[in-house]
Amino acid sequence: MIIVTGGAGFIGSCIVAALQEAGKKDLVVVDYLGTDEKWKNIAKRELAACVHPDDFDTYLEKHKGEVEAIIHMGAISSTTETDADLINRSNFVLSWKLWEYCRDNKCSFIYASSAATYGDGELGFSDCDTQEHLNALRPLNCYGWSKAVFDRKVARERDEKRPTPPQYAGLKFFNVYGPNEYHKGSMKSVIAHIFPIAKANEEVKLFKSYHPDYKDGWQLRDFVWVGDIVNVIMWLLENPHVSGLFNIGAGEARSFYDLAASTFRALGLEPKIGYKDMPESLRPKYQYYTKADISKLRELGFTTPMTPLEEGVRRYVQDYLNTPDPYM
């Protein structure tokens, strides 16, 4: 049995799809489905169970000895959420409870960290997992803090030689885009936001820059195709000797202008791009540059190439967004 928390969400549902396509049986999704169309993310999947989070403790207790791996994608992922108690319960307390379960029941534990742990990037984007390095990071928001504090807890457990799950892997996701993110509202990728505007052949407006080193629209991000995230997780499951904290990005910094232009071109249109003011509340916390250092993952044997931005955007637009059925 493989359990995917947040399994009806964006990245989680793509992981579930890949697991099913790989012939894995007894797949269990744990998630809130709510009253929107999030359920469509898993409508094509064959599941052993879809468990409400309130029933998760009981489900785990009942199925002790059957769980091979828990892939923990469930989290409060909004970078603008201000309820720190809610974030702590969801992103730290639950994660630690699942760590203990996997430790005690000899299951692999793969969990979502985040590039938000790097803050403004002043210390770089190395996935070094020494306590000294992790303690020095200063996330810019509560979401990033919650992921950073869990990474530090894992590092202490390892360094103090306390028992751990047989395999554990924290994945620092950069700017992920791809199908099944449609329920995420304001947290959808820029591509999903601008697609209907670009399809109508109207002008897309990107944020102006408030940093002298970056032109309007030329703020840089490591944009990573969700299929590359899935490839890493599948590789980890096939290599249970690999544990640690890993960046998952394309390893390349590209501009929002590049992203928007690629969206137009995937539709066979010439880019129409303008600029708008950034909300004042975002300006002090805005990252102008991210780029994943994925050398550690490469050194451990993950050799699959990452998808270039233009190819990932083309796939997303032509194979999903611009079709009658945009779901994976």
Instruction: Give the closest residue to 10 by CA, choosing from 41, 35, 40.
Output: 41
Beta-ladder partners of 173: 248
Q: Judge whether 143 counts as a catalytic residue.
A: yes
CA atoms of 272 and 278, how far apart (whole Å):
19
Q: Give one word for 139, left, alpha or beta, with left for phi > 0 and alpha for psi -120 to 50.
A: beta
Ramachandran angles phi, psi of 57, nearest 5°: -60, -45
Which of 24, 40, 184, 296 is labelled catalytic? 184
Q: Cβ contacts of residue 280 below 8 Å, gap of 6+?
A: none
SS3 assignment, position 323: coil
Under a CB-based contact definition with an 8 Å cutoff, are residues 168 and 99 in contact? Answer: yes
Q: How far apart are the first and last CA of the chain?
A: 22
Under a CB-based contact definition with an 8 Å cutoff, are residues 276 and 206 in contact? Answer: yes
Which of 111, 118, 143, 316 is labelled catalytic? 143
CA atoms of 164 and 282, how far apart (whole Å):
38
Angle, alpha carbons 42-44-56 (nearest 5°): 35
Q: Cβ contacts of residue 21 below 8 Å, gap of 6+?
A: none
Ramachandran angles phi, psi of 5, nearest 5°: -80, 150
Q: Cβ contacts of residue 257 below 8 Å, gap of 6+?
A: 206, 217, 218, 273
CA atoms of 314 and 195, how far apart (whole Å):
12
CA atoms of 8 and 321, how far apart (whole Å):
18
Beta-ladder partners of 246: 171
SS3 assignment, position 165: coil
Residues marked as catalytic: 143, 184
